Structure 1
Amino acid sequence: MNDHRPAPAEAASASPAVSSSARRSAEKAAEEAAEVRRFWGRLGLPGLIDVHTHFMPERVLNKVWEYFDARGPLTGGLAWPISYRQREAERAAVLRRFGVRAFTAMLYPHKPGMARWLNDWAAGFARRTPDCLHTATLFPEPGVETYVREAIEAGARVFKAHVQVGAYDPADELLRPAWGVLAEARVPVVIHCGSGPAPGKHTGPGPIARVLARHPRLRLIVAHLGMPEYEDFLGLAERYQEIRLDTTMAFTDFTEALTPFPRRALPRLAALGDRVLLGSDFPNIPYPYLHQLQALERLDLGEEWLRAVCHDNAAELFGPA
């Protein structure tokens, strides 16, 4: 019998090392949670609302992580270690320890026939996770208007659209009735439509401008502040009163090294302070969650701006968390 189990003495010596590593990890996690809570506590907030967090079926999320690990083309070939590679329940618990009072389940299809199934999963996740804003998604395909309407009737409070991953034109005629339903229902859509970290055939402000020309009351939340076309998307937000932007990954050291936000545009961002929302991309971020908050604070746009971005704007949009 080929038994490689350690002798009792070896096992005893290995055990403290394992427990010591786990203890250090737990201590580090507790320290970060305490720092996050101190951040929003100093601002006099009851917590945070994060409109850009990812929860999806485990096998789908594992595929996403594998893509990041492989430095797939849509990541721009960047090294992208996942900071919170944990199971679903533990990821939700991490957000709660941070004091995130409401978060989302940003999920998205990359091909036809996938969105309705994802919406069914998301409805179940929302039922078992009451602090998650019930999230749904869509794709340009026959029947999209029907399942978007069904998702709204089932309680969806926010949608996710990913132009880059889905490789579709948001102005596609197949989506036109679905955008109309969403505009009429006043349900926000977090949409990744900027060309970062890698451009797609239909990314950038042009396709979205065509959508808004048809549906000026559509509540789009432009993910990542529209990076790298920051100023173009600020322009759309200045033109359309229902356009909002989320801060996902913006201003972090990781992003600033690649696609820095132009400092000349900070006054415009400050002026749109009532339509900028906290987003993080948790758990798919290559740095601690705390760093996103610190990156916003060091903009020095003031505590009133931070309070609005980190909680109040989303609370007004979605209702108290």
Structure 2
Amino acid sequence: MSHDHSAIYAAGAVCWRVVDGKVMVLLVHRTAYGDVTIPKGKVDPGESLPQTAVREIKEETGLSVWLGVPLGAAQYRVHSGREKIVHYWAAEVTEAAVLASTFVPNAEIAALEWVSVKRALAYASYDQDVEILRHFAKLLDEGVTSTFPIIVLRHAKATAHSEWSGSDASRPLTARGVSQAASIVPSLLAWGPRRIVSSSATRCITTVAPLAAALGRKARVTDDLSQNAYEAGEADVRAVIGKRIASGKPAVLCSHGPLLPLILREIALATATPAGSYLSSAADLDPAAFSVVHVSATAPASGIISIETHEPRV
């Protein structure tokens, strides 16, 4: 994503939950502006947009959320004449998160209000918020509410073949690769991954090590995502994907450039999604980049809902 350096970047989310069988969304009443908006805030130095969205929701509303489907970006000019670009996601709010929220009205946010989508469309102060809410409403009309992500991650920068005398599977990450592996953790955490599955190659295991440490979970290591097994015709990618789709839990799969198109194709097959060029662009990842594939939690065979791709920051 190329950044216009004069622009102000921000991120937020349409937080939603089901109350008495009806989808309600969260609007915030801002104290100083006297307006009603979707919660959002500016990117802090060194932060990624997904990381900002989760942090800002927590700061403004007291709610801990994980990101769902991306809802696009709003672009508008602020008083200074600078352009502001705000990226939004949908974020399902659990009852536990509502109960755990310690929100109190403050100098920034006067009140939180849960309203129907219809009311939110009539009530939001800004056209750009209405557009984002419309995007969310369209997903609801299509029967998409709860989703879970399968994050397809290419391993970070590894030592070149020519500079390594050991086996290919034991090739380590370079110093840059090690910092990439650490730098993507806050972004990956924004989707709330619960499972990590890694190729058995050292360069993949080392890439997910910082994430595993942050989650306090062990990565499941398998030859089914390994390049060597794939080249020998022994990698059962379909089994790995089948298991992830059936579990319905947010997961990170770390593998190699040559396997990524196959992994994306198997996710498309498992979710009954028509193949298309979008799959090859989602598989065309630089080292430590990842594609977040959003799948319906209630009807996984209703196809891939959306795919977003993120680059490492180092």
TM-score (norm 2): 0.29
Larger relative strand fraction: 2
Larger relative helix fraction: 1
